């Protein structure tokens, strides 16, 4: 039997009015020429919902039961790398067959989004404990303490680094217009390693590392760049030097050199680049360099040094003033890696 035509709203209201007047279902059916079952359905709806219009329909019934949804959510909470196909296989074993698109829609409706896993340093138990101790020890330090810290690190900048993923606006057949392409060379065109430092007052010197850096080279870098940077930034008395626990940094000869030059070194938890605010200026530098599009390593070095010196002191100061947010984030994540 085909689908019958729905009753008009006026007719539904009349059915309810006749019922309120005391008329029975059969008599209303005879007067209005409407099936008794339809009369009963309209009156029951009015009594339950105080309305005669059709209620919003929920659509097709869900193929995954509430129990199946709970199983899926429990799986992805405990094992976030579980694939949609693996979830579909689990449901099929439980008697429910659905496609991967249904799995994805169900997860999105419950607040989950498919994202690339963030790459972070490997943290062992000792690293986590050291990070928690560092955060607890310094959580109540005033901004004036962090203003006396000279932060340092090394980074690698590639000739065609950030440019390799540049996005452009173009028309359909203009993919190979030179304006819409990114020039590349084999093996990335080379790269340069830099040592740099900064404080709340601005950036210090940026030094190109040539060849493989050993302890002796590192101490030369400190002699020629750290001390001049501290003077240029007017760090004053009592400033503190931060560097990580690389073997070159913690070698006895390096410690002796730092002690001889009366440089106080901050105790640092290993595997913690997210606690070093210099990572933000490094990112800023790479973005600035990519915009200038150097074509060879000589240009790359020159542009890096120019752009490093241009980073506004206000940017550096803001990173230092808000440093306690990093410590709070470490504590909130129980010592594991943070968004910083």
Average pLDDT over all residues of the chain: 89
Check pLDDT > 80 for residue 161: no
Strand partners for 198: 151, 203
pLDDT of residue 1: 42
| Spatial separation of the C-alpha atoms in residues 205 and 249, rounded to whole Å | 18
- Report which secondary-structure segment, H or E, holds 160: none
Longest CA span, the chain: 109
CB-based contacts of 216-224 (< 8 A; 24+ apart in sequence): 216/253, 218/248, 218/249, 218/254, 219/253, 219/254, 219/257, 221/195, 222/254, 222/257, 222/258, 223/257
Burial of 244 (0-12, 13-18, 19+ CB in 10 A): middle
Phi (first) and psi of residue 255, to 5 degrees: -60, -40
Phi (first) and psi of residue 18, to 5 degrees: -65, -40
Distances (CA, A) of 232 to 200, 221, 282: 13, 16, 20
Question: Confidence band (pLDDT; 50, 70, 90) for 49?
Answer: confident
The gap between the terminal CA atoms of the chain, to the nearest Å, is 65
Structure tokens at 172: 């359909």
CA triple 232-294-233, angle to 5 deg: 10
Question: Confidence band (pLDDT; 50, 70, 90) for 185?
Answer: low
- Report which secondary-structure segment, H or E, holds 149: strand 149-158
| Spatial separation of the C-alpha atoms in residues 293 and 270, rounded to whole Å | 34
> Which string of b and e fits 209-243 if b means at least 16 CB within 10 Å?
beeebebeebbebbeebbeebbeebebeeebbbbb
| Spatial separation of the C-alpha atoms in residues 333 and 337, rounded to whole Å | 7
Check pLDDT > 60 for residue 250: yes
**Neighbour count for residue 38 (Cβ, 10 Å):** 19
CATH assignment, 125-332: 3.30.420.10
| Spatial separation of the C-alpha atoms in residues 303 and 309, rounded to whole Å | 10
| Spatial separation of the C-alpha atoms in residues 333 and 311, rounded to whole Å | 31
**Neighbour count for residue 37 (Cβ, 10 Å):** 10
Structure tokens at 195: 């040592």
> Which string of b and e fits 119-129 if b means at least 16 CB within 10 Å?
eeeebeeebbe
Model pLDDT for residues 7-21, shown as the tens digit of each residue = 888 888 899 999 998
Check: CB of residue 194 under 8 Å from CB of residue 304: yes
Model pLDDT for residues 63-97, shown as the tens digit of each residue = 888 899 999 999 999 998 899 999 999 999 988 89
Determine which of 123-137, 163-177, 190-204 has the lowest per-residue pLDDT on average.
163-177
What's the pTM? 0.70
């Amino acid at each position: 039997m085909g689908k019958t035509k729905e009753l008009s709203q006026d007719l539904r209201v009349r059915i309810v009015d006749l019922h309120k007047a005391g008329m029975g279902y059969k008599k209303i059916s005879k007067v209005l020429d409407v099936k008794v079952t339809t009369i009963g359905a309209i009156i029951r709806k009015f009594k339950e919902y105080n309305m005669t219009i059709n209620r919003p329909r929920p659509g097709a019934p869900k193929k995954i039961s509430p129990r199946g949804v709970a199983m899926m959510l429990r799986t992805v909470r405990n094992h976030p790398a579980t694939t949609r196909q693996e979830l579909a296989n689990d449901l099929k074993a439980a008697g429910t067959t659905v496609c991967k698109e249904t799995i994805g829609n169900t997860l999105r409706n419950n607040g989950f989004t498919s994202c690339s896993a963030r790459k972070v340093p490997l943290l062992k138990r000792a690293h986590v404990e050291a990070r928690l101790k560092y955060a607890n020890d310094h959580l109540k330090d005033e901004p004036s303490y962090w203003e006396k810290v000279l932060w340092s690190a090394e980074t690698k900048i590639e000739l065609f680094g950030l440019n390799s993923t540049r996005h452009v606006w173009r028309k359909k057949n203009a993919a190979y217009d030179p304006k819409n392409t990114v020039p590349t060379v084999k093996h990335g065109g080379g790269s340069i390693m830099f040592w740099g430092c900064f404080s709340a007052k601005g950036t210090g010197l940026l030094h190109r590392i040539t060849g493989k850096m050993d302890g002796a080279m590192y101490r030369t870098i400190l002699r020629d760049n750290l001390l001049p940077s501290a003077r240029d930034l007017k760090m004053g008395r009592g400033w503190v030097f931060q560097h990580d626990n690389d073997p070159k940094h913690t070698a006895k000869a390096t410690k002796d050199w730092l002690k001889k030059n009366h440089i106080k070194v901050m105790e640092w938890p290993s595997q913690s680049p997210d606690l070093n605010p210099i990572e933000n200026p490094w990112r800023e530098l790479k973005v600035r360099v990519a915009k200038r599009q150097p074509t060879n390593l000589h240009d790359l070095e020159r542009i890096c040094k120019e752009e490093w010196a241009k980073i506004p002191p206000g940017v550096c100061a803001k990173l230092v003033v808000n440093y306690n947010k990093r410590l709070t984030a470490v504590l909130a994540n129980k010592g594991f890696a943070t968004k910083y």
